[in-house]
Amino acid sequence: MQRRLRPVELDFTATAPVRLAFEATLQAPPPAVYRSIAVEVGSLPSWFTPVSSAVPLDDGARRTIRLRGGIRFEETILASEPDLRYAYRVDLTNAPAVSALAEEWALAPEGAGTRLRWTMAADGPAAFRAGLRLASPGMGLSFRRAAVLLDRRLTPARRPSPGSAR
């Protein structure tokens, strides 16, 4: 059953009762990373494997996300700043217990690559908040795997240097 969540704004990613943040460095430059996250929304399942489908709506102002296992989200985009940030809140979901949820993808140049930071901000009853904190290591692993897959997707394979052992 779909439930409407409390509408939150971008500042929720800094003030939510539960905030999980994970970082990775990618070889791909910020424009390529941003394009995959915010423009090529349908590509999300190819590199963030918990996602089974991602569909942009209303010229990119909203989107629907389905996770493996049946969880669904209808989201509103809160920030879409090319090469810097992409953030959204969940408006409707069938996920239990959560009362508010927003996520932010922040990008920063790191040499020729990108420093990518994913923040999940949430609120719900005490048991939900505790469970989300306990899930943090698994979510971090999922994010790191996604970052590796995204980087492989965006960075062409490099030939080994002469004399290297591969």
156: left (phi over 0), alpha (psi -120 to 50) or beta: beta
pLDDT at residue 61 in the model: 95
Contact indicator for 98, 128 with CB cutoff of 8 Å:
yes
Tens-digit pLDDT string for the chain (166 aa): 799 999 999 999 999 999 999 999 999 999 999 999 999 999 999 999 999 999 999 999 999 999 999 999 999 999 999 999 999 999 999 999 999 999 999 999 999 999 999 999 999 999 999 999 999 999 999 999 999 999 999 997 655 556 655 5
pLDDT at residue 156 in the model: 74
Cβ-Cβ contacts under 8 Å for 66 (sequence gap 6 or more): 51, 52, 53, 54, 72, 73
How much is the pTM?
0.91
pLDDT at residue 158 in the model: 59
pLDDT at residue 165 in the model: 55
In 3-state terms the chain splits into helix, strand, coil percentages (rounded to 5) of 30, 40, 30
